[in-house]
Amino acid sequence: MATGQLIRGWLGLGGAPVFLYHGLTLLLAPECPVRERKYWVSAAKFRDHLACISRESHQAVLLHELWDSTDGSKRQKLAIALTFDDGNSSDYEITFPLLLEAGLQAEFFVNTATVGRKGFLSWQQIGVMQRSGMSFQSHSHDHVYLSRLPSRETERQLRLSKQILEARLGREVEFVAAPYGDLSADVIKVAMQVGYRAVCTSWSWPARPGAQLVNRAVVYSKTSARAYEGLLAGRLASYALCAARLVVMFLPKRMLLRFLRPHAVAPVQEDLS
């Protein structure tokens, strides 16, 4: 991550909750590698999250609405955002019907290289979801560690994804979420040069309108109802616990990456978030 920029966002809780999910499941044990199961939230738990949002009179808005807000100093009670990474088929099969049932919108970050593959969204499904009010943004072209690529390849990953999505969706793609939560100053710089308005992180802290980095609170399979309510309410203790957990998880993996041999394309696997 771009640590220096993130630290500057730690100084206050002004902003709005942006939640990051990876996939929903109807099974007790999702059909994915064991190491990834902590990212898959049950459909029943997600329905409870939506009920909580409604009960507390929050409104799930799209990222551009939140990002364009002029109130960056105090929390707006109604403004929250729901985001999903990876473009899993569960986004259409499970998440989409639940969102429609609740009358809420969400933002979906997809890898354009995996669209249409088994286990992922198809362009037809994406079209149906978009026409129903859902929004789609970039998760790069391939699911890769962007900070380990040469700048030219990073640019290709971000530009190609943006171009394909805009051509397919017929609207501007404004935000990008780096796979694995893997950010660096160079990745952010390239994203801005390519034309994105902001880069979405997996740093569990409220998001500030107009910021170059959009923080997102990661929701895990074991995130309790109390913890979720705390994040929704903007409680400092809730975000501090999430941030501490992320540091413990992230730093060892970041150090490990320094010793791994770089490669251009990686399969979709466990996020660092």
> Per-residue DSSP letters for 134-164?
-EEEES-SSS--GGGS-HHHHHHHHHHHHHH
Confidence of residue 250 (pLDDT cuts 50, 70, 90): low
Nearest residue to 17 (alpha-carbon basis) of 272, 273, 230: 230
Q: Encode pLDDT of 66-108 as tens digits.
A: 999 865 444 445 789 999 999 999 999 999 999 999 999 999 9
> Per-residue DSSP letters for 77-119?
TTEEEEEEES-BTHIIIIIHHHHHHHT---EEEE-TTTTTSTT
Give the three-class secondary structure for 24. Answer: strand
pTM score, whole prediction? 0.86
Q: What is the mean pLDDT of the chain?
A: 86
Domains by residue range for the chain, with CATH: 3-257 (3.20.20.370)
Query: How many CB atoms within 10 Å of residue 55?
Result: 10
Nearest residue to 142 (alpha-carbon basis) of 172, 179, 189, 177: 179
Nearest residue to 108 (alpha-carbon basis) of 79, 99, 117: 99
Q: What is the pLDDT of residue 259?
A: 56
Confidence of residue 252 (pLDDT cuts 50, 70, 90): low
Residue 116 clears pLDDT 90, i.e. is over it: yes
